[in-house]
């Protein structure tokens, strides 16, 4: 159990890159705080049930409309802290997506965190710790929420109409992210895209083939980030196959395939490609021409492959 009622502080910061995992865990923490039973969270009492059904009037979840809390909303939060709870003797504020809250709005919360009333609890859900003011961080108890394990991720996909193999493939490529797993399960282009990435890994061998892959990548501009994420995850597996760390490969039933793919690259060239993937991300963030980024990416893969074969 991640939370223990006896050592919950008034300001907690939950940290994980996956917003869905954070939402889930912040509700669990809210239940642990508000539960009417000794053995919290019981999931049965009125308070737990109301949190479960999103209608606990003393658990306030922000932002209400926008994707991140804005200054006006933060002022509303700060002013309401001193009001007594409606039904319980405590109240909880869950601030989602807190690392996307701008600095001005974060600043408005500082004084409240410094002088917290005993019966008020703040839970800040943070996907990117570097975007949170150090003064906020130092006033919170930081809790690094672990990622979901593969069994839990697999179980979470039961509501989708997918085969066992498809679910396994999603788990292997979601990078431990519940959000990614759900996105992939709902997106019918996911499996064709994954096949395309494997095809590229297997068959892009000389410059005459660049056109085939680049024209496809020009077309799927909106999915390029997913493409790059899948490409990088396969790269990790190829790398582990290369250095003999087979237990680290995220798809155990494809070890032989990864061994074959690893024969075309040196360790150094795999590291170089991995570094280049990060560069591609930066280039796309800074609005470089998409087609040019694609061309350079494919050329880099070929160069690194050729370097090994010289
Ligand atoms: Zn309860």
What is the pLDDT, as a whole number, of residue 128? 95
Separation between Cα atoms, residue 106 and residue 77, nearest integer Å: 12
Secondary element (H or E) of residue 122: strand 120-126
What's the 207 CA to ligand 1 centre distance in angstroms? 63
Residue 269 has pLDDT above 80, yes or no: yes
What is the pLDDT, as a whole number, of residue 309? 63
Q: Are 54 and 64 in contact (CB under 8 A)?
A: no
Strand partners, 168: none
Residue 7 has pLDDT above 80, yes or no: yes
What is the pLDDT, as a whole number, of residue 98? 97
What are the pLDDT digits (tens) for 63-84? 998 899 999 999 999 999 999 9
Handedness of CA 164, 166, 171, 172 (dihedral sign): positive
Q: Are 34 and 67 in contact (CB under 8 A)?
A: no
Backbone φ and ψ for 204, nearest 5 degrees, come out as: -80, 100
Backbone φ and ψ for 212, nearest 5 degrees, come out as: -60, -45
CB neighbours of residue 4 within 10 Å: 9
CATH superfamily entry for domain 5-146: P-loop containing nucleotide triphosphate hydrolases (3.40.50.300)
What's the 245 CA to ligand 1 centre distance in angstroms? 45
What's the 79 CA to ligand 1 centre distance in angstroms? 28
What is the pLDDT, as a whole number, of residue 284? 86
Angle, helices 255-262/224-242, rounded to nearest 10 degrees:
90
Peptide linkage before 41 cis (omega within 30 of 0): yes
The domain spans of the chain are 5-146, 187-309
What's the 41 CA to ligand 1 centre distance in angstroms? 5
The domain defined by 187-309 carries CATH number 3.40.50.620: no
Residue 310 has pLDDT above 60, yes or no: no
What are the pLDDT digits (tens) for 30-46? 999 999 999 999 999 99
What's the 39 CA to ligand 1 centre distance in angstroms? 8
What's the 81 CA to ligand 1 centre distance in angstroms? 23
What is the average pLDDT value for the chain, to the nearest integer? 94
Residues with CB under 5 A from ligand 1 (ion): 35, 37, 42, 45, 48
User: Do the domains 5-146 and 187-309 sit in the same CATH topology, yes or no?
Assistant: no
DSSP three-state, residue 110? helix
Residue 306 has pLDDT above 90, yes or no: no
Q: CA-CA distances (angstroms) from residue 123 to 101, 219, 302? A: 14, 42, 48
What's the 221 CA to ligand 1 centre distance in angstroms? 47
């Amino acid at each position: 159990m991640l939370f223990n009622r006896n050592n919950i502080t008034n300001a907690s910061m939950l940290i994980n890159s996956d917003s869905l995992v954070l939402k889930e865990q912040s509700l669990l923490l809210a239940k642990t705080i508000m539960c009417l039973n000794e053995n919290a969270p019981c999931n049965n009492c009125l308070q737990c049930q109301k949190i479960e059904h999103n209608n606990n009037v003393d658990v306030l979840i922000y932002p209400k409309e926008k994707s991140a809390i804005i200054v006006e909303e933060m002022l509303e939060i700060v002013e309401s802290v001193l009001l007594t709870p409606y039904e319980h003797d405590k109240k909880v504020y869950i601030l989602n997506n807190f690392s996307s809250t701008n600095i001005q709005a974060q600043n408005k919360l500082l004084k409240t965190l410094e002088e917290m009333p005993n019966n008020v609890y703040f839970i800040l859900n943070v996907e990117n710790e570097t975007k949170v003011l150090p003064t906020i961080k130092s006033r919170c108890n930081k809790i690094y929420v672990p990622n979901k394990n593969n069994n839990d991720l697999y179980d979470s996909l039961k509501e989708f109409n997918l085969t066992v193999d498809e679910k396994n493939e999603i788990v292997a490529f979601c990078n431990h992210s519940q959000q990614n797993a759900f996105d992939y399960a709902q997106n019918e282009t996911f499996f064709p895209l994954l096949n395309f990435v494997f095809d590229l890994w297997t068959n892009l061998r000389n410059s005459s083939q660049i056109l085939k892959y680049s024209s496809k990548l020009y077309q799927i501009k909106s999915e390029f980030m997913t493409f790059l994420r899948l490409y990088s995850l396969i790269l990790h597996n190829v790398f582990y196959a290369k250095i003999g760390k087979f237990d680290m490969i995220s798809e155990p039933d494809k070890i032989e395939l990864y061994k074959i793919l690893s024969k075309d690259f040196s360790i150094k060239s795999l590291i170089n490609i991995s570094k280049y993937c990060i560069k591609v991300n930066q280039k796309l963030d800074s609005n470089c021409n998409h087609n040019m980024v694609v061309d350079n990416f494919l050329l880099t893969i070929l160069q690194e492959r050729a370097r090994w074969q010289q």
